[in-house]
Structure 1
């Protein structure tokens, strides 16, 4: 126990908004040219031991992603419709996510009595995440130094008091992470609308908002158009700005099936990621030791050189079609199914292939090889991740990929289409359940008809607008349904200052994270059941549901005994909060939804298209697909019903000052979003540390730096000095003047105003930085910069 003297010293200190600046025993090893295999199996097992859950967690692994089992808490990659591996229908990171969920380590009230908020803030995000599961609601009073236990009833009363004291419903924000079930998401958005606001920022605003914004006006849906078997049957898959080995490891199984069936793969990425190069299948006795080569062509584009690459492909396809009319492009498809082609083609008279090659960072030979692969194939799929969506022109680049598919007639047919690779397990389902700061009038009309109240009609705050509103003192109440808002968002110092102005911040969570430590004047932590936890209501284990990244809605049923009898499912948290706020005489009968998932699903069926017979179909083996018109060749663009639309976009002008570098943030292989499983980036060969900046060796030589040199990173957007101190230089095969760093450590450098056009997402893959030798006095300058950043 800390003595009273130690505690008193901490009372007036402000918790750190960032990871502490710790350099560990960094080791640089070889870069891998394949992913998965035996090391992935061993890493999965090691995490079960680390979390003291070998038997408990091992039992759960056999039920994860199985029919009748529970969904992985990690990514939204789809499970096979029919045959699933009885041994391992999960990946390394899925096993690590489960190990953290199934851990037997806990943080009870005694833990928070022992550790003050300030003391905990001095621990890294990795350390915070490994203390264990919450066991009871906790409350931090105004001016308090330690969280203390609070009953569920008193927590709901305090929340209700703050909501009812709002002068304007828009002084409240309801944030959502991507792990929330369909049922919890539906009642959550409903509660926000009953409060009277559409302030519902969510993790889509930081990952694939760009995809939906780009796709919806061109093809009529903001989701992917392919099924898992389409990847198996594709003739060509082009993966742009996405790293399967780390972000969606089970995707590599689908890619290897494509290769075995004769398909080709092009990888477009600034880094030669191991998961793009080769795959050792841990489900195969032979494949676990022998890799399948994945990429037939790797194209190391510059950061934001993708658009130049796309336009080069289009110009080359047009030239090939002119030489052999009717053999390259699908003129009939374009005549029958598209609008805007003639205007689209006219732009290419102004483009020079040599200029496009230079802007992309590729050689003419590389472009020609890619164009040859594309020209000869009809079944083409574009896959992409945040390497596209977090670029300032990401929406345009999504539309440019659609343009290429429309030219080829490669959408709406088997083995072809668009495949945005989603992150969190139900991020797509959250949006389907109306977690959206911009709901449509039709969606609101359906809610009004079913529930008998008029929901708010004006758009609410997305993540970026929410941060500005917090900073401007416009927000009095912040509720987070999961996630780690502070660490996930850009401009850490600016965001933290906004969070500290809020009257009450509430977090529905399973484990400790930095958002619990950088909080409002008061703070509440509500401990929730995890996906692997059994959810018993009236003596019966319940199911919830989620939507994967290819539009399948299926059930999820936890099996593990919760670590505490004070954990509550997320739907009941919302319903109890609503009852405390409005009682039983409000606009919605919340008591009907309490302890009754079937009733929630009945209302979803009435309010959201595609959920007919929801309660029956969700219990079917493997669930059901939601309607997807473009998948069937039925399009609705912004300008024409029944047709897809070509889009004319601009080629970006990317310039750097002589002392500037372009930085993109990424995550390690030991990480999922802001959750850190370990400190190794095994595939990239960067071990035991995260504060690194990956640089081209020519850039290092020009600066006179060698591997291991310490540097500080700076950004000057908006005439504000942002500092990320104490990083280690690591040589890496990346285009010149480009650098790569890990988030959340460098989120501090991402200006809240550096956003994607139209989607308003943080452009974390396009950050101009300056790199200087490490200054031992930099930490004082960091404090000064923080004080100046008001």
Structure 2
């Protein structure tokens, strides 16, 4: 069994006194730490996974989950409606695009689990809160908190009894409104958004914040793809990828960097299998060879399922060291340029001359970068890098796709710009089957940014918002996630509103984040289920329960639908199928409107009118947001519509009017002697901070989350045995240290000098000061640690 301290945060060697966190106290039973799943029924196990991704393993896992959740009727009904056009609802999981050819089972294992988790028949009402104090609940595991079921009515924290008690919606709104009206400055409030928020609620939410007078609009993108957006904006003049599913279907080569598709975007497996079957080359670049980078059986391919026939999903796997992606990309570019000396077609000179600037400087940089340094920083041999370069050079059309393994680094912006550099060399932009393709991790997180959730809004956006909505929005940049935590900690932010998500666990530096939340005068969490953020609260606190994506949204004009944007800029409708979990739930647009009216009693904005009929919100969005013209008609087209990306049309909204090469130096990512680079990640049976079990099927782990994956040679050097208990210490930029004790070390196929473990448990190791100077993202994929046998 795991040591009782295995999931506890025992110390943080900082100069200041840290407040005690109930969820971070030692001595709790196994499985009760932040993010932990249910207490394991048996001891931890590890057996290397050697089967195809998805297929019968996924089917078996889904069946067990539906049985456990007693959803044998609702689960299959949801499967037939999820991600379907004409009355279907959008999966609240990942942001991978829906199939464009009318596939009737465009689903995945984790999507089914996510939806079933939302549709549970379990309820958390006033009786539950009367029976359990906040102090008691703080000792529960995060799995057990969410497993209690759906929240049913608004609750307010009573400090006298340490219990949440019922409160009416009107009184809840007035409590928030009076707190916001009483602030010395609107910048003393911060309005956080998770990716689950639909476009219509998103637009109203940012409108409310800006009418109040603040751009404090942090969101989960600040922790995930902020680097991608800034890099693409700088290089191409657009903060999004340029490709769509049709491009994936026609590409000759696919390069997948820092992505664990089988768990984080499982429907990508279909695209990978189809690409391999038509002869496309697929290169996976990741420190771990994940299940998606081997073989798959696509569940909706019934013949392959019946015959147990798997399809390869990779032509080449390169295990780059953590943080070494940029060096690998530089090496590929160097190889392409070297070939151009003897092969005229190695470069697309016409494209480079007509559509780019900075090429000669970039060429000189590549020529000046020694192969020895590229090998050292990437952790790969020159011969391996040349293999990837040959795949790229031989392909007429290439897509490069990436996720958090690229963005959550100090040099994340530079790395994404290096991706664009490589694409530009061969004109892989502005034509079918080619371009950059970031993989967004959460449904509608891209739509949130498109519809105004941005702490650094462009002047053009604010000008149009002012003209259409009749407000005068603030022009100063607001606070992002890191800035909000720092401001709550110092007392500069007094009111925190969380629209979805689980901020206390999703953010870095768990004990510091918790202390910051507790320093607020008021915290408000809009949620569907109980989570850690309800227990780590301000002096006053509200829980506001909202409708889920699967539920019918009844308003005065009838049942409403909402829209979402996937990671490839397709906008489509989603309409719930189930009766709401409680008659006391409100929709997200209605909750935003209620808060807005209470905080802005004299507002000329017709908040209540908007909520009566979401078409009215969309009509205003059509005027305020570029690309949303004729919104109500276009979103009702089959599959919706795609927002135009200027760079796809070779229109570059950059200062030069062209695509811009970048010339950043390679960062030094080689760990110092005795240290390791640790990356945090999700397990397979997990979605963001929601943990379904303590298993990780695709990595061969059962009954264990408090673990660290290590190279066997690194374990041997430190005298660590298989499943041996270890102590992990991180050292931050400011010299402060953070510790985890009693984790179990698992030997794994990972490069020397690298280690990996699960978030949110390991978020405690990610110091708040360790955020990228390029993107302000927490550096969750490159934590400097020492690992030693447990004392």
TM range (shorter): over 0.9
Question: In 1, are the aligned partners of 2:322 and 2:669 still within 8 Å (CA)?
Answer: no
Q: Return the match for 2:426 from 408, 433, 439.
A: 408
Aligned to 2:324: 305
Aligned to 1:445: 463
Mapping of 1:651-730 within 5 angstroms?
Answer: 651-717=666-732, 718-730=734-746
Matched residue of 1:616: which SS? helix
Residues 662-713 of structure 1 show CA distances to partners (whole Å, capped at 9, x for unaligned) of 1000110111111112211100001111000000011111111111211121
Aligned to 2:11: none
Aligned to 1:182: 199
CA distance in 1, matches of 2:361, 2:673: 38
Matched residue of 1:713: which SS? strand
Structure 1 pair 13/273, CA: closer, same or farther in 2 (3 Å)? closer
CA distance in 2, matches of 1:33, 1:350: 44
CA distance in 2, matches of 1:327, 1:387: 32
Aligned to 1:489: 507
Q: Which moved more, 1:39-48 or 1:229-238?
A: 39-48
Q: Which moved more, 1:395-404 or 1:23-32?
A: 23-32
Residues 457-499 of structure 1 show CA distances to partners (whole Å, capped at 9, x for unaligned) of 1000000111111111111111000000010000111111111
CA distance in 1, matches of 2:591, 2:165: 19
2:55 aligned with 1:37: yes
Residues 245-269 of structure 1 show CA distances to partners (whole Å, capped at 9, x for unaligned) of 1110000101111111110001100
Mapping of 1:274-285 within 5 angstroms?
Answer: 274-285=291-302
Shift of 1:655: 4.2
Shift of 1:323: 1.6
CA distance in 2, matches of 1:632, 1:17: 52
Question: In 1, are the aligned partners of 2:505 and 2:760 still within 8 Å (CA)?
Answer: yes
Q: Which moved more, 1:564-573 or 1:254-263?
A: 254-263
Question: In 2, are the aligned partners of 1:169 and 1:196 still within 8 Å (CA)?
Answer: yes
Q: Return the match for 2:341 from 322, 325, 332.
A: 322
Matched residue of 1:238: which SS? strand
CA distance in 1, matches of 2:115, 2:196: 13
Residues 33-86 of structure 1 show CA distances to partners (whole Å, capped at 9, x for unaligned) of 5210011112222222222222123212210000020000000100122322x2
CA distance in 1, matches of 2:465, 2:771: 32
Aligned to 1:271: 288
Matched residue of 1:327: which SS? helix
CA distance in 1, matches of 2:312, 2:518: 50
CA distance in 2, matches of 1:205, 1:365: 37
Q: Return the match for 1:755 from 766, 771, 776.
A: 771
Aligned to 2:181: 164
Shift of 1:14: 4.9
CA distance in 2, matches of 1:722, 1:634: 47
CA distance in 2, matches of 1:726, 1:459: 43
**Could you tell me the TM-score, scaled by structure 1's length?**
0.94
CA distance in 2, matches of 1:385, 1:540: 39
Shift of 1:611: 1.0
Mapping of 1:120-135 within 5 angstroms?
Answer: 120-135=137-152
Question: In 2, are the aligned partners of 1:635 and 1:644 still within 8 Å (CA)?
Answer: yes
Residues 491-519 of structure 1 show CA distances to partners (whole Å, capped at 9, x for unaligned) of 11111111111001000000011111111
Matched residue of 2:22: which SS? coil
Question: In 2, are the aligned partners of 1:82 and 1:622 still within 8 Å (CA)?
Answer: no
Shift of 1:400: 0.2
Shift of 1:334: 0.4
Mapping of 1:425-504 within 5 angstroms?
Answer: 425-504=443-522
Q: Which runs of 5+ in 1 are unaligned?
A: 1-11, 776-790
Aligned to 1:233: 250
CA distance in 1, matches of 2:69, 2:474: 45
2:303 aligned with 1:286: yes
CA distance in 1, matches of 2:175, 2:332: 58
Aligned to 2:542: 524
Aligned to 2:382: 364
CA distance in 2, matches of 1:761, 1:536: 38
Q: Which moved more, 1:114-123 or 1:421-430?
A: 114-123
**Could you tell me the TM-score, scaled by structure 2's length?**
0.94
Aligned to 2:526: 508
CA distance in 1, matches of 2:297, 2:347: 36
Matched residue of 2:232: which SS? helix
Question: In 1, are the aligned partners of 2:150 and 2:528 still within 8 Å (CA)?
Answer: yes
Shift of 1:301: 0.6
2:124 aligned with 1:103: no
Matched residue of 1:249: which SS? coil
Shift of 1:750: 0.3
Q: Return the match for 1:769 from 771, 778, 785.
A: 785
Q: Which runs of 5+ in 2 are unaligned?
A: 1-18, 26-30
2:22 aligned with 1:15: yes
Q: Which moved more, 1:574-583 or 1:300-309?
A: 574-583
Aligned to 1:630: 647
Shift of 1:598: 1.0
Aligned to 1:74: 93
CA distance in 2, matches of 1:647, 1:260: 35
CA distance in 2, matches of 1:210, 1:373: 27
Question: In 2, are the aligned partners of 1:236 and 1:377 still within 8 Å (CA)?
Answer: yes
Question: In 2, are the aligned partners of 1:438 and 1:460 still within 8 Å (CA)?
Answer: yes
CA distance in 1, matches of 2:590, 2:158: 24
Matched residue of 1:267: which SS? strand
Question: In 2, are the aligned partners of 1:483 and 1:509 still within 8 Å (CA)?
Answer: yes
Question: In 2, are the aligned partners of 1:576 and 1:594 still within 8 Å (CA)?
Answer: no
Aligned to 1:83: 102
Question: In 2, are the aligned partners of 1:133 and 1:510 still within 8 Å (CA)?
Answer: yes
Shift of 1:597: 0.5
Question: In 2, are the aligned partners of 1:143 and 1:521 still within 8 Å (CA)?
Answer: no
Residues 109-143 of structure 1 show CA distances to partners (whole Å, capped at 9, x for unaligned) of 11111111111111122222211100111110345
Residues 324-357 of structure 1 show CA distances to partners (whole Å, capped at 9, x for unaligned) of 2x22110001011111101111112322213311
CA distance in 1, matches of 2:514, 2:144: 20
Matched residue of 1:322: which SS? coil
Q: Return the match for 2:560 from 542, 567, 574.
A: 542
Residues 214-256 of structure 1 show CA distances to partners (whole Å, capped at 9, x for unaligned) of 0011111111110101111111100011111111000010111
CA distance in 2, matches of 1:509, 1:79: 26
CA distance in 1, matches of 2:559, 2:50: 44
Shift of 1:726: 2.1
Question: In 2, are the aligned partners of 1:129 and 1:511 still within 8 Å (CA)?
Answer: yes
Aligned to 1:419: 437
Question: In 1, are the aligned partners of 2:413 and 2:774 still within 8 Å (CA)?
Answer: yes
Q: Return the match for 1:60 from 64, 70, 78.
A: 78
Question: In 2, are the aligned partners of 1:218 and 1:399 still within 8 Å (CA)?
Answer: yes
Aligned to 1:150: 167
CA distance in 2, matches of 1:348, 1:108: 62
Aligned to 1:562: 580
CA distance in 1, matches of 2:428, 2:21: 55
Shift of 1:540: 2.6
2:207 aligned with 1:200: no
